[in-house]
């Protein structure tokens, strides 16, 4: 039998050594697997880990890919910290994008970029409304929020599919399920750098991340609201003793996380797609759950976790394109990386004891 015994103190050295060791182990096992499957192991490793950093425009693509993950992950952090399990960020992402898209397409000639404030707000409202359904069901009827939020993902997916095939389809799209292109005022532009031009796909939406991370850090660590979330998550009884209203906290965190997922949806569509289509997400809402936990439910951790996951995702794409390595293999590699990162984190806090087995 294996038992995990909490360590008295987490060693400061190991906080640095553990992630490095995790990566070393990941590389080692990655090499083994790639070699076993008949791919050039060093070349594969280069594609996954190094190629995303090999050019400055690729580095900026990491940021672009990480942007929705970090925004959604930050919202989910608030939920998970207060023991509210919102699994439906994917659906909230879609509904945010959809509501914003509806507003954007209602003003086909608008050019001023101030209009973006309205579409982003609409995205927040769309996502928040979608999260309000599990929130109200949980607080009023005690319905499990995991099931409701997850099932609403599929409702949202089918709903956007219906919208772009029906009401919002562009008559000029030659039968493709696409909406009209967004007006200029609803598009997020790429950032021009003097002397260099554009850096990959790097767009102004990334500024939102750099605002959100410090802002959410302050909220979690320095405000009454963050304290309430923390207490509710670690000791619900104590939250009652302090007179915090559990239901209003639950509703607030669900609305905030839904809203942030919605904003991520707006930014993703307005910056990278420019119109509505059946698929706007690519699983960001689900990947962000991993990002939130990998970042140990802290804003700064989530920022770096978003970067790591985005890097590996892009690296996997590169490996697929240049070497023809199937997605499942690179998916396996992502799994190994997560496994070792989480193991490293666990072993910082616990030591393992092997005791004689019982039958």
Partner 1 sequence: MAKKELDILLKATKICKSFGNFVANQNIDISIAKGQIHALLGENGAGKSTLVKIFYGVLQPDSGSIEINKQKISITSPNIARKNGIGMVFQHFSLFPALTVAENILIALDNKIQFKKVVDEISKLSKEWELFVDPLKLVSELSVGEKQRVEIIRCLMQNPSLLIMDEPTSVLTPQEIKNLFKILKKLASSGCSILYISHKLEEIIELADEVTILKSGKSIASIDAKKTTTNFLAETMVGKKITELKKAIRSKSKKIAFEVKNLDKLKDHEFGISLRNINLQVNYGEILGVAGIAGNGQVELMKILSGEINSKDNDQILLEKIPIGKTNINERRKLGIETIPEERTFHATVPNLTLSENTFLTYFFKYSNTKSWITNLLNNPQNSLDESKKIVKNNDVRCPETNPLASQLSGGNLQKFILGRSLANNPKVAIFSQPTWGVDIGAATAIRQKLLDLSQSGKAVILISQDLEEIFELSDKICVINEGVLSAIFDVSEITATDVGLLMGGKNRENQKMDPIK
Nearer to partner 1, 174 or 354 (CB): 354
Smallest gap from residue 147 Cβ to partner 1 (A): 21
CA pair distance 194, 199, nearest whole angstrom: 11
Nearest distance from C-beta of residue 242 to partner 1, angstroms: 5
The residue (of 225 and 278) whose beta carbon lies closer to partner 1 is: 225
Footprint of partner 1 on this chain (CB under 8 A)? 5-8, 222-225, 227, 230-231, 234-235, 237-238, 240-243, 355-356, 358
β strands within the chain, DSSP E: 2-6, 190-193, 197-203, 350-354
* Neighbour tally for 345: CB within 10 Å: 19
Kindly state the smallest distance separating residue 232's Cβ from partner 1, in Å: 10
Task: Please return the burial class of 18, using the count of CB atoms within 10 Å of its CB with bins 0-12, 13-18 and 19+.
Answer: buried
User: Which residue's CB is nearer to partner 1, number 166 or number 243?
Assistant: 243
Pairing verdict, β 350-354 and 2-6: antiparallel
Best CA proximity match to 128, nearest among 252, 271, 284: 252
When the beta carbons of 38 and 358 are compared against partner 1, the nearer one is 358
CB of 227 to partner 1, least distance (A): 6
Minimum CB distance to partner 1, residue 241 (Å): 6
Whether residue 270 contacts residue 281, with contact meaning beta carbons closer than 8 Å, is answered with: no
Give me the least distance between CB of 252 and partner 1, in Å please.
Answer: 12
Choice between 298 and 330, CB closer to partner 1: 298
- Which residue, 5 or 24, is less far from partner 1 as judged by CB? 5
Cα distance between residue 33 and residue 54, in whole Å: 24
Q: Is 246 exposed, middle or buried (0-12, 13-18, 19+ CB in 10 A)?
A: middle
């Amino acid at each position: 039998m294996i038992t995990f015994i909490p360590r008295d103190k987490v060693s400061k050295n190991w906080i640095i050594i553990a992630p490095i060791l995790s990566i070393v182990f990941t590389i080692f096992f990655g090499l083994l697997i790639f070699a076993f499957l008949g791919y050039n192991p060093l070349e594969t490793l280069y594609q996954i880990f190094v190629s995303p950093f090999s050019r400055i425009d690729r580095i900026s693509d990491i940021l672009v890919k990480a942007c929705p993950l970090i925004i959604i992950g930050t919202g989910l952090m608030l939920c998970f910290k207060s023991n509210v399990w919102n699994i439906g960020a994917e659906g909230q992402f879609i509904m945010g994008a959809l509501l914003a898209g509806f507003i954007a397409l209602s003003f086909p000639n608008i050019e001023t970029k101030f209009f973006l404030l309205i579409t982003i707000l609409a995205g927040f409202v769309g996502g928040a409304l979608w999260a309000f359904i599990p929130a109200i069901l949980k607080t009023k009827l005690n319905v499990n929020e995991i099931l409701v939020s997850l099932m609403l993902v599929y409702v949202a997916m089918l709903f956007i599919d219906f919208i772009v095939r029906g009401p919002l389809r562009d008559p000029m799209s030659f039968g493709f399920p696409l909406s009209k292109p967004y007006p200029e005022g609803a598009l997020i532009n790429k950032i021009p750098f003097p002397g260099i031009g554009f850096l990959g796909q790097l767009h102004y939406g990334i500024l939102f991340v750099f605002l959100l991370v410090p802002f959410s850090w302050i909220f979690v660590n320095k405000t009454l609201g963050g304290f309430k979330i923390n207490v509710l998550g670690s000791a619900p009884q104590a939250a009652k003793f302090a007179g915090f209203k559990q239901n209003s906290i639950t509703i607030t965190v669900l609305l905030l996380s839904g809203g942030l997922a919605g904003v991520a949806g707006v930014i993703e569509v307005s910056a990278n797609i420019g119109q509505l289509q059946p698929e706007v997400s690519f699983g960001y809402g689900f990947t962000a759950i991993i990002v939130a936990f990998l970042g140990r439910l802290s804003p700064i951790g989530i920022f770096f976790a978003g970067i790591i996951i985005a890097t590996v995702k892009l690296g996997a794409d590169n490996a697929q394109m240049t070497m023809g390595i199937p997605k499942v293999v690179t998916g396996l590699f992502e799994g190994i990386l997560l496994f070792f990162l989480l193991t490293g984190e666990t072993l910082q806090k616990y030591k393992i004891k092997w005791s004689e087995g019982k039958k």
